[in-house]
């Protein structure tokens, strides 16, 4: 770790110290106990699923795979980390890294992973804790108001957090380049995934989400979950949605590539989507509403569909009739941080819910942008037969050039997703900056 990052992390922890003290006083607690969590065991089996540390724990302690550990925060005292260090010859016991942040904590090594006894007072316990455990502790379990307030604290990133997001982007981009090269060399989805992992130097279970690697029509399956081991005879397109984690902070990047058998329509739409995505990013600044950006995306998609002859009506009609929503049913983006879909996107600064509008139920970010927010910007355009079929049956049937739409089906879809931090006056595109000068 560079000295700069260590200094930035100290400042980040000092900011957390202050903010927690203020919030605990406001909510009437003497302290809060945060539980890192534990991996879940498969039913009737002795094998475990992969694990990610609880976000509020991770906000303090940058160890994304740390199980069975507890962090006690009390205003005016050093945070006390009850670090799970079992005597176990089956596994390698976790060890604290030799990093500067450790000095900010009081560390208690604990063999059994049980919750520590709490001092006298009024405490909350947050995390995947049972009611019985909370009762034994005498603490309020996951109180909603405090949890929402702590979520809000994660919405605006510190300089340290932005540095971590940038590093996660750098590592993910190495994977994306390698996946593209594997595809262009004739590889199957599995080859692309393996190339991604190798270049990004990460194992699958440590990714913030399972990479989506879709060749041809699979690019149109929004959360496509398989990796074909056979390459297709004709390689039209590749869509890779792949991330990384650095100190818990997630990258979430999508790139779409034309293959040797790509049609002219697909290539033109890919270039158009790239322009649209850059244009949308260019508009992001504090005060801009993300619901209005979602509509801007759909207006841009409408223009694109008309310009390339897939829609034979006006862009206004393509927008108003909902044609564009059949081509892109997901949101323009979401908050990004310790979770890939980070907390706080659908609430206001006081924790009051801000649900998405009925026309855009999948939108995960409904609040105006503020300096310090880290977000994704991921417009997409897909051929999804289940969503296009109603258009063919309805009043819009004559507005589409169905032959061209169907010809695009072999190409699946296009998504271009960058990670962007909102600054005081505009934004900083972490992903494109690194692509331009790695
Ligand atoms: N990778 C999930 C998403 O883009 O939201
Ligand atoms: Mn993504
Ligand atoms: Mn995303």
> 236 and 220 in contact (C-beta within 8 Å)?
no
Provide the pLDDT for residue 245.
Answer: 98
Testing ligand 1's pocket by substitution, the residue of 253, 376, 415 carrying the most ligand atoms inside 8 A of its CB is 376
CA distance linking residue 256 with residue 233, whole number of Å = 19
Residue 2 has pLDDT above 90, yes or no: no
Q: Cβ(378) to ligand 1 under 6 A?
A: yes
CA distance linking residue 63 with residue 96, whole number of Å = 9
| Claim to verify: residue 138 and residue 164 sit in the same structural domain | no
Domain boundary among 95, 119, 153: 153
User: 274 C-alpha to center of ligand 1: Å?
Assistant: 18
| Claim to verify: residue 168 and residue 145 sit in the same structural domain | no
Max distance between CA atoms of the chain, in angstroms, equals 72
Provide the pLDDT for residue 438.
Answer: 76
Q: Of 422, 336, 429, nearest to 372 (Cα)?
A: 422
Share of the chain above pLDDT 70, in %: 100
Domain boundary among 100, 133, 153: 153
| Claim to verify: residue 125 and residue 187 sit in the same structural domain | no
CA distance linking residue 82 with residue 97, whole number of Å = 15
CA distance linking residue 311 with residue 155, whole number of Å = 39
Q: Give the Å distances, CA to CA, from 376 to 56, 160, 251, 274.
A: 21, 19, 9, 15
Whose CA is closest to atom 4 on ligand 1?
252
Testing ligand 1's pocket by substitution, the residue of 221, 417, 419, 420 carrying the most ligand atoms inside 8 A of its CB is 417
User: 167 C-alpha to center of ligand 2: Å?
Assistant: 17
> 380 and 330 in contact (C-beta within 8 Å)?
yes
> 57 and 67 in contact (C-beta within 8 Å)?
no
What angle (nearest 5°) sits at the alpha carbon of residue 30, between those of residues 25 and 34? 105
User: 405 C-alpha to center of ligand 3: Å?
Assistant: 25
Residue 430 has pLDDT above 70, yes or no: yes
Domain containing residue 205: CATH number: 3.90.230.10
338-360 confidence digits (pLDDT tens): 999 999 999 999 999 999 999 99
Q: Cβ(152) to ligand 1 under 6 A?
A: no
User: 29 C-alpha to center of ligand 3: Å?
Assistant: 35
177-213 confidence digits (pLDDT tens): 999 999 999 999 999 999 999 999 999 999 999 999 9
Which residues lie near ion ligand 2 (Cβ < 5 Å)?
Answer: 241, 252, 254, 417
Tally of domains within the chain: 2
Q: Cβ(342) to ligand 1 under 6 A?
A: no
What mean pLDDT do residues 17-37 have?
A: 98
Within 8 A by CB and 6+ apart from 283, the residues are: 293, 296
| Claim to verify: residue 412 and residue 278 sit in the same structural domain | yes
Q: Cβ(418) to ligand 1 under 6 A?
A: no
- Tracing tokens 């919405």 back to the chain, one arrives at 155
| Claim to verify: residue 124 and residue 187 sit in the same structural domain | no
Residue 66 has pLDDT above 90, yes or no: yes
What mean pLDDT do residues 66-93 have?
A: 96
Whose CA is closest to atom 3 on ligand 1?
252
| Claim to verify: residue 416 and residue 318 sit in the same structural domain | yes
> 185 and 264 in contact (C-beta within 8 Å)?
no
| Claim to verify: residue 195 and residue 61 sit in the same structural domain | no
Bridge-based pairing of strands 123-126 and 140-141 is parallel
- Give the DSSP H or E segment for 6: helix 3-27
| Claim to verify: residue 182 and residue 147 sit in the same structural domain | no
What mean pLDDT do residues 305-313 have?
A: 98
Question: Euclidean distance between the first and final Cα of the chain, in Å?
Answer: 19
Beta strands (DSSP E) in 127-248 are: 140-141, 212-215, 237-246
Mean pLDDT for the chain overall: 97
Q: Give the Å distances, CA to CA, from 281 to 278, 292, 344, 367.
A: 5, 13, 21, 16
> 193 and 150 in contact (C-beta within 8 Å)?
no
Tell me the H-state helices in 87-188.
Answer: 131-137, 144-153, 159-184
Which atom of ligand 1 sits closest to the CA of residue 364? 5
Half-sphere exposure of 230 (CA within 13 A, CB side): 3
Residue 118 has pLDDT above 70, yes or no: yes
| Claim to verify: residue 271 and residue 348 sit in the same structural domain | yes
CA distance linking residue 34 with residue 125, whole number of Å = 6
Domain boundary among 153, 187, 203: 153
What mean pLDDT do residues 387-399 have?
A: 96
Range of the domain at 244: 159-436
| Claim to verify: residue 55 and residue 92 sit in the same structural domain | yes
Which atom of ligand 1 sits closest to the CA of residue 330? 5
CA distance linking residue 274 with residue 255, whole number of Å = 10
| Claim to verify: residue 76 and residue 170 sit in the same structural domain | no
What mean pLDDT do residues 318-325 have?
A: 98
| C-beta neighbour count of 365 within 10 angstroms | 27
Domain containing residue 129: CATH number: 3.40.350.10
Residue 437 has pLDDT above 90, yes or no: no
Q: Which residues, listed in sequence order, are joined to residue 421 by a DSSP beta bridge?
A: 374, 428
Residue 86 has pLDDT above 90, yes or no: yes
Q: Of 301, 307, 341, 347, nearest to 321 (Cα)?
A: 301
- Classify the C-alpha dihedral 203-207-212-215 as positive or negative: negative
What mean pLDDT do residues 115-143 have?
A: 98
CA distance linking residue 306 with residue 300, whole number of Å = 10
* Backbone φ and ψ of 125, nearest 5°: -125, 130
Task: Take residue 247 and report the two structure tokens written for it.
Answer: 């100190």
Residue 1 has pLDDT above 70, yes or no: no
| Claim to verify: residue 202 and residue 147 sit in the same structural domain | no
CA distance linking residue 15 with residue 348, whole number of Å = 21
Q: Cβ(241) to ligand 1 under 6 A?
A: yes
């Amino acid at each position: 770790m560079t000295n700069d990052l260590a200094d930035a992390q100290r400042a980040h922890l000092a900011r957390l110290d202050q903010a927690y003290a203020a919030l605990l006083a406001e909510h009437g607690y003497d302290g809060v106990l945060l539980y890192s969590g534990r991996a879940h065991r498969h039913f009737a089996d002795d094998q475990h699923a992969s694990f990610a540390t609880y976000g509020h724990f991770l906000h303090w302690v940058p160890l994304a795979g740390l199980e069975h550990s507890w962090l006690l925060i009390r205003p005016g005292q050093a945070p006390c980390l009850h670090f799970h260090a079992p005597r176990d010859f089956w596994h390698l016991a976790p060890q604290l890294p030799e990093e500067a942040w450790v000095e900010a904590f009081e560390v208690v090594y604990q063999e059994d992973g049980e919750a520590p006894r709490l001092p006298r007072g009024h405490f909350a316990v947050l995390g995947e804790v049972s009611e019985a455990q909370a009762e034994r502790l005498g603490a309020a379990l996951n109180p909603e108001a405090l949890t929402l307030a702590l979520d809000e604290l994660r919405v605006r990133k510190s300089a340290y957090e932005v540095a971590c997001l940038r590093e996660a982007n750098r590592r993910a981009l190495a994977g994306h380049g390698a996946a593209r090269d594997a595809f262009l060399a004739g590889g199957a989805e599995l080859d692309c995934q393996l190339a991604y992992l190798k270049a990004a130097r990460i194992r699958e279970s440590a990714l913030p989400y399972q990479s989506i690697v879709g060749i041809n029509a699979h690019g149109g399956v929004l959360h496509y979950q398989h990796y074909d081991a056979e390459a297709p005879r004709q390689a039209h397109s590749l869509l890779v949605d792949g991330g990384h984690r650095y100190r818990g902070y997630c990258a979430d990047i999508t790139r779409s590539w034309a293959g040797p058998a790509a049609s002219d329509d697909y290539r033109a739409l890919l270039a158009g989507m790239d322009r649209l995505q850059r244009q949308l990013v260019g508009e992001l600044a504090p005060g801009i509403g993300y619901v209005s950006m979602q509509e801007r995306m759909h207006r841009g998609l409408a223009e694109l569909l008309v310009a390339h002859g897939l829609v034979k009506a006006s862009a206004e009609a393509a927008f108003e009739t909902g044609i564009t929503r059949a081509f892109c049913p997901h949101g323009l983006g979401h908050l990004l941080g310790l979770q890939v879909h980070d907390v706080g996107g659908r609430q206001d600064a006081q924790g009051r819910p801000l649900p998405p509008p009925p026309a855009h139920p999948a939108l995960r970010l409904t609040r105006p942008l503020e300096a310090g927010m880290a977000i994704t910007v991921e417009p997409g355009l897909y051929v999804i037969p289940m969503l296009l079929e109603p258009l063919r049956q309805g009043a819009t049937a004559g507005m589409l050039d169905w032959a061209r739409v169907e010809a695009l089906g072999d190409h699946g879809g296009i998504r271009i997703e960058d990670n962007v931090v909102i600054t005081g006056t505009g934004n900083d595109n972490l992903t494109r900056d690194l692509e331009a000068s790695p």
